[in-house]
Structure 1
Amino acid sequence: MDVVDPAVVGNAAVLARHLRQGRDRRLAMLEWFAEAGMAAQPGAVQVPEPPVAAVREAVVWVLRGTMSHRLLEVARGAAGAGEEAADALYEVARRLIGAHPYRGAANPALVRAALEADEEVPDGPEFTGVVHLVAAIGLGAQEVGGDALAEAFAAYGWFGLTAEDWAQMLGAAERGEGPPVDWGLLQQRADVLGPVQRASDEQLLRARTVLLGLRWFYGLYAMHALFMPDTQALAALRARIDEWGMFPVLDHVIALGPSPRHFAEGLAVCLEPLFDGLYETLMEQLIADPALFRLPGDESGAVGFMETWTGVLRQQTTKARERASESGEGPL
């Protein structure tokens, strides 16, 4: 009797965990790839890597079916096709975006301050202005106009700039009073399939490292809104993200419990050098100050940290119930 290769057995076992009747194998492949990138628990066997070529195929398949890709295909079809095609592009874009409304998360520091002061939690940014960015890709930035593009850029929250900030910068560039804008980069960045198709195996593996790492850093930042005890190390990580103006962007890209489709979209985004650079910056900060969960004067480390956090959450829950009772809203 021939001996079965242990690697084959391991691959079959992990694939069987993710395959279900009627489920596309490409979704299972993406789950496998994500699992293989996570550190094994003590005493557990590290999950083997799936064929990266199959992962690349799965990512491209997911991206072809996204709303973003459908919008870009409509936008490219409208290029040079006249005013009626431009109107149709806006109509399709508004309909698709309206069918999948999305609002980003408010800054956790503002949320925490509002909760502590018993004030209304602020809303996060809306992304309806993104329709102008889609139009610019198809029709050209000049046809859309600087004010509309300023609204689109502000919707993403890049670098903490408002629509007024973007409008001033774009207006200065148009008048020759500031650095010129290379709108060709907008067209290049709109190609979401090409970078994935051209990426080497090593680049896809690196993008996974960046994505999983940024998910963890994003989670630490977001938990600040939920009264997580603050430490010098945690504050330093948030400060680094704020220096890059990247929390709104991470909020748009990262999901703490992603589906395989969302994982594929995040993987494609993390091929960009911007995200790789942010990940490296945060890793450097973590190495410089790794005591994330050690409160000053508490030698119990993470245990004391979690006990403190649990206590604060209990206090906040009690306060919320008391406020609800006083206002006649009943128990939470």
Structure 2
Amino acid sequence: MRELAAHEVAVTPSQLESWRRVGLLPRHRRRGLGRGRGSVVDAVDPLVVEGAAALARHLRQGRDRRLAVLGWFAEAGTPPVRPGACRVPEPPVAAVREALVWALQRSASQRLVEFARSAAGAGEEGQDTLYAAAGRLMGPYRGAANPALVRAALEAGGDVPAEAEGPDFRSMVHVAAAIGLGAQEVGADALAEAFAAFGMFGLTAEDWAQMLGAAERGEGPEVDWGLLQQNADIVAQVQRASDEELVRAREVLVGLRMFYALYMLHGLLLPDTPAQAALRQRIDDWGMFPALDHVIAINPSPRQFAESLTVCLEPPFDNLYETLMKQLAEDPHIFSIPGDDTSPAGFGETWLRTLRELTNPGRAVGGGADNGSGRSG
């Protein structure tokens, strides 16, 4: 208890005992004192203390313990903020899997899949009901505006153009309908609109419609819609994944969060560097920014973390992460402005100066550095 008090968390003995009973914390080793004299703890295991402290940080009044486990798992995969600080130990993977399944079963995504499957065979009435329910569950979410176009508008002192607006993800309802009613019932044009909104691989709705239409007519490669059915059930995905795959998905999610943040901050006049431009180019080459925007949250809730981690089990996100990590290894100087010897301190000062200039009418905004392509954006 003294060690936990040093972590500035309040934990009662009964809480510790309940966490041990459900397998979240191991017991300290005890040494017997002899017949009839009981036992004593010789030394407190620091890993047990760190684990208990992490669990206590994420367990608030009224919050289900499984959400706290997800928060602990997320924290354990994040590098310490303070230099020299110990990394948070891992929670038991069995408890993480249980918490993921519990959270995903209650997610809007899973409820939508289950609703879609229940609508199968219900005719037009069932289809209308499905689309109405999907609209309520998905909401009116739009993707983020294109950061490069936002930056250009800010630097020019003009308005953000309409073409910078992010995709409307409401068309993803067609994917949900295909899961429940079948792809043939939904049609190639509607599915093409949905896939284009998600933005993967940079394909337009016309590109998708051409490919899906050719497949329908038997003029192109056949589409395996079974993969859509299989991957739609996010609970089953987590249940199928190995312990190692869950940990890897967290690594991918944490890494992509960093790259996504850099991409987004470009729109907020973060000083540009050749290393940053190369990373953005990799993301653009894959056409993955809309997909990242749909999946990544910088400060996710445990429920958001659970859904995002499940998506990162998929090969496209894992492969993108590997590509970006290789690019970062080739040029790690993402915060080094060419010709500025004061970085990273100079980098931060340049950014703050640029943001201050933005609020001063009549002053040019000059946050970009030449990235070797003749552009500052």
Give the structure-1-normalised TM-score: 0.92
1:330: which partner in 2? Answer: none
Alignment of 1:113 onto 2:152: yes
What are the Cα deviations for residues 64-88 of structure 1, in whole angstroms up to 9, with x where unaligned?
1111111111111122233322222
Query: Pick from 255, 267, 271: which aligns with 2:309?
Result: 267
Shift of 1:104: 0.5
2:344: which partner in 1? Answer: 302
Conserved 8 A contact 2:357-2:363: no
Output aligned runs, 1:225-236, within 5 Å.
Answer: 225-236=267-278
2:51: which partner in 1? Answer: 11
| 1:319 partner SS | coil
Conserved 8 A contact 2:112-2:176: yes
Shift of 1:6: 3.1
Alignment of 1:238 onto 2:277: no
**Paired amino acid for 1:16:** A
Shift of 1:91: 2.3
Shift of 1:147: 1.1
Q: Distance in 1 between matches of 2:154 and 2:211?
A: 35
**Paired amino acid for 2:126:** A
Q: Distance in 1 between matches of 2:320 and 2:274?
A: 19
1:69: which partner in 2? Answer: 110
| 1:115 partner SS | helix
2:192: which partner in 1? Answer: 150
**Paired amino acid for 2:85:** A
Conserved 8 A contact 2:118-2:180: yes
What are the Cα deviations for residues 228-273 of structure 1, in whole angstroms up to 9, with x where unaligned?
1111110000011111110000000001111111111111111112
* Alpha carbons of structure 1 residues 320 and 88: separation in structure 2 relative to 1, 3 Å: farther
2:367: which partner in 1? Answer: none
Stretch deviating more after TM superposition (187-196 or 113-122) = 113-122
Q: Distance in 2 between matches of 1:165 and 1:94?
A: 25
Alignment of 1:290 onto 2:332: yes
| 2:279 partner SS | helix
Q: Distance in 1 between matches of 2:214 and 2:104?
A: 36
Larger-Rg structure = 2
What are the Cα deviations for residues 182-208 of structure 1, in whole angstroms up to 9, with x where unaligned?
222211121211121122221111111
Conserved 8 A contact 2:202-2:286: no
**Paired amino acid for 2:118:** G
Question: What number of residue pairs does the alignment pair up?
Answer: 320
Stretch deviating more after TM superposition (253-262 or 177-186) = 177-186
Query: Pick from 50, 53, 59: which aligns with 2:94?
Result: 53
Aligned-pair identity (%) = 69
| 2:297 partner SS | coil
Q: Distance in 1 between matches of 2:240 and 2:137?
A: 29
Query: Pick from 114, 119, 125: which aligns with 1:84?
Result: 125
1:175: which partner in 2? Answer: 217
Alignment of 1:159 onto 2:201: yes
Give the structure-2-normalised TM-score: 0.81
| 1:128 partner SS | helix
RMSD, aligned α-carbons: 1.8
Over 4 Å off, 4+ runs:
none
Higher fraction of helix: 1
| 1:159 partner SS | helix
1:2: which partner in 2? Answer: 41
Q: Distance in 2 between matches of 1:95 and 1:270?
A: 25
| 2:169 partner SS | coil
**Paired amino acid for 2:255:** G
Q: Distance in 2 between matches of 1:250 and 1:91?
A: 26
Shift of 1:319: 3.0
Alignment of 1:101 onto 2:143: no
Q: Distance in 2 between matches of 1:178 and 1:127?
A: 27
**Paired amino acid for 1:68:** S
